[in-house]
Structure 1
């Protein structure tokens, strides 16, 4: 979906409300409403002989005819195969199954087919609803599921999420803000599903980092909704009791319009610190929006991701989808554990190794609750360029890790 210029934001927002258009992005596609309750329970997963090929099933969303999902499916498949070829000292027996656009019933059927054929771990599927369904189906078969979702609400038990979670981003930014004496945080969130998930993540990050929640503002995803809350936000900022405004801004059209209206009301990054739960450097046209200057957002280690993208383009003649690297991370984590001789590589104990793993976008850990922690950099925009304020940690145990 193409970016919108600031002066077109109002009409674009109206169009989104009328059409109910979905935005295929790393956050929105994974922030679906969870199906059955998140899985919890004892340690799960099967033991392996690390000297033998490790049977891994990859569930990708191909087969629906949707061009973007087919591109993502290719990227996930190619990235997983690249990780398998990099698995020196371990052998990954990777088999790929399409889920027809990530249909939950199809995903469950393919997962059962894969396990019947010998798979001992599932990487995928994509959407939270499908991941939850596959997790429920695999629980009785003692198989762990490493989903591409970033919705931690469906994590737990035998389900892990590989996607960068709202909780991870919020914790990174609030923690950095506390160290910069930006402790009083006003949260501004859309009242859609992803906005509610993001708002909860911000609230928890504020509490976890010893900051103060200075207020909550929610708004509909519409021109009128944003205009309706702008005076409330401006009043809170001008009261002197707010150090930072943390926006979920999940919808592609919301961030430009919201910050434009705030600027018109006298609230800018020069007045108070803006924080964003989503990438403010994507699409690249956002770098030219004056209202986003000096706002903080979190990004992965760009040097590592750049190396992967160059390698992928050289091998496949196209850019990888933004989520394609998650498949590389999942396969490489399993390969690293098998290479270390871990018989428990596919179990909860193995997958949640405290040392973590080296991923395409930096180091990451899978946590016992099924969520993850990814090392992120804190970035801002100055003069139309991305500036790194604090680099992503290269290991765990440091600030921001």
Structure 2
């Protein structure tokens, strides 16, 4: 896998401390970009710097941005100059785009804006209304201004905290929000979480493991936002798929806490005691005496003190033999047949060492992990056979190639999300006048996206077609064990 799953980088960031302030009314029109005969699209912004960063993109699932865009003219703003929502909606489908176009995340904002423009370019009935979530008032004020201006759907914002701030304005006005966070806690009716979530990955893994005959699930996870999301996802997946409640244990990241958590989760002490009891109950094999030359026994020919030293540890009559050392005991199976891990880096190395000590491995136990493992799957030979869920990289190749040819850099994975969200919005706008059809947004067959089919569920979650990959180790790339579902119908 060439993709390092940076889609999870937006998981649970701290919300910005902002106070909503009214947006100054006014109109700022963007000059059209060269569209190779594909028409024009207007961009509304909040400042010359923000508007000047926007470029209009050519149409296509794997399309790329056009190289140049004309400078924008600015209409002076004056109080009371905002068109009523009904008038704006009648003129076009207005799409509010809530992104950080200034500040430390401005580069990400521009990349996400580019992704949205790719999907919407060429559709002259759709108008982009760009709002900077990093400006005064933050995401809450940006969302309120977009709704007041008549935007029928909102794309963004970027982070979990910003989504929490923007959601009330959208849900209160019945305006759908397609946010780019991976925090499933922000999902609710009318607010969709477009990021590839840990919960979605776990659902796919549990589904595949259940088909493989696994029935009893457990998790050893770091006590971090990602670990908690994976644990919650495992509980939800087992519940959704009619399986028993999984055993979930969290560790503090230190070697001692990982070792203690593994012993607890795998019932190590009970398994060791049972193995020792079995070993004690078994009759000890008696080695035949080895006579020495002259038919004399070894003990009879050795000096008395040496013979006593050699036999000092031998069981005496009526004495129970001492149990074997832990490393020589074969333990029974742990109380689960599938184990979810969530660590990376040095802590994962410690976890793997404890797996070996606790004798937790295939074929008795299927090891599973997060999609983050795709970045270093070639180095996971010590847990060969482990699984993780991730998009099929083949889906993204055309998009990356064409984007790179135009911009001399590969698109960041977050651009996939904005393209997918805008594609769904474009489909919802077709055949209607100024209204985005919610039944189209939640259509059962979903939408073909950059990373495969995705479906917007009514409760705000997004289901993505993830493949299941098996770790081969020894420098080999992971192999796709199970293909993701086929793409939905084209938009």
The C-alpha deviation readout for 1:263-316, integer Å capped at 9, x for no partner, is: 35443456521111333112xx44223234211111113211122111221121
Choose which of 173, 183, 196 in structure 1 pairs with 2:215.
Answer: 183
| TM-score, normalised relative to structure 1 | 0.78
The C-alpha deviation readout for 1:352-391, integer Å capped at 9, x for no partner, is: 1222111111111111101111111111121421200011
Q: Verify: 1:372 aligned to 2:462, yes or no.
A: yes
Contact 1:104–1:129 under 8 Å retained in 2: no
Q: Verify: 1:79 aligned to 2:115, yes or no.
A: yes
Contact 1:166–1:198 under 8 Å retained in 2: yes
Contact 1:34–1:153 under 8 Å retained in 2: no
Cα distance between partner residues in 2 of 1:378 and 1:233: 25
Specify which structure has the higher proportion of strand.
Answer: 1
* Pair 1:24–1:206, CA change in 2 (3 A): closer
The C-alpha deviation readout for 1:33-71, integer Å capped at 9, x for no partner, is: 899xxxxxxxxxx99999964211222234223xxx344
Q: Verify: 1:55 aligned to 2:94, yes or no.
A: yes
Cα distance between partner residues in 1 of 2:95 and 2:220: 41
Query: Offset of 1:216 from its aligned partner?
Result: 2.1
Query: Match for residue 392 of structure 1?
Result: 484
Q: How does 1:244-393 map to 2 (within 5 A)?
A: 244-249=338-343, 253-269=346-362, 272-282=365-375, 285-339=376-430, 341-342=431-432, 346-383=436-473, 384-393=476-485
Structure 1 window deviating more from structure 2 (51-60 vs 317-326): it is 51-60
| TM-score, normalised relative to structure 2 | 0.65
Choose which of 239, 242, 246 in structure 1 pairs with 2:336.
Answer: 242
Cα distance between partner residues in 1 of 2:153 and 2:357: 52
Q: Verify: 1:94 aligned to 2:125, yes or no.
A: no
* Pair 1:259–1:63, CA change in 2 (3 A): farther
Query: Offset of 1:222 from its aligned partner?
Result: 3.4
Contact 2:235–2:246 under 8 Å retained in 1: no
Structure 1 window deviating more from structure 2 (111-120 vs 359-368): it is 111-120
* Pair 1:99–1:352, CA change in 2 (3 A): same
Query: Offset of 1:139 from its aligned partner?
Result: 2.6
Greater relative contact order (Cα 8 A, min sep 6): structure 1 or 2? Answer: 1
Q: How does 1:68-147 map to 2 (within 5 A)?
A: 69-85=105-121, 91-100=125-134, 105-147=137-179
Q: How does 1:160-199 map to 2 (within 5 A)?
A: 160-199=192-231
Contact 1:59–1:97 under 8 Å retained in 2: yes
Contact 2:11–2:225 under 8 Å retained in 1: no
RMSD: 3.1
Match of 2:205, SS? helix
* Pair 1:105–1:223, CA change in 2 (3 A): farther
* Pair 1:178–1:49, CA change in 2 (3 A): farther
Query: Match for residue 232 of structure 1?
Result: 264
The C-alpha deviation readout for 1:202-253, integer Å capped at 9, x for no partner, is: 011112223334522211133443233233345469542321111233x655
Cα distance between partner residues in 1 of 2:103 and 2:350: 33
Match of 1:258, SS? helix
Unaligned runs of 5+ in 2: 17-84, 272-330
Query: Offset of 1:142 from its aligned partner?
Result: 2.6
Unaligned runs of 5+ in 1: 1-22, 36-45, 397-401
Cα distance between partner residues in 2 of 1:173 and 1:118: 42
Find the structure with the greater CA-based Rg.
Answer: 2
Match of 1:368, SS? coil
Match of 2:239, SS? helix
Contact 1:47–1:346 under 8 Å retained in 2: no
Match of 1:74, SS? helix
Contact 2:380–2:471 under 8 Å retained in 1: no
Query: Offset of 1:106 from its aligned partner?
Result: 0.6
Cα distance between partner residues in 2 of 1:190 and 1:275: 14
Cα distance between partner residues in 2 of 1:287 and 1:24: 15
Q: How does 1:17-28 map to 2 (within 5 A)?
A: 25-28=6-9
Contact 1:58–1:95 under 8 Å retained in 2: yes
Cα distance between partner residues in 2 of 1:48 and 1:255: 57
* Pair 1:287–1:93, CA change in 2 (3 A): same
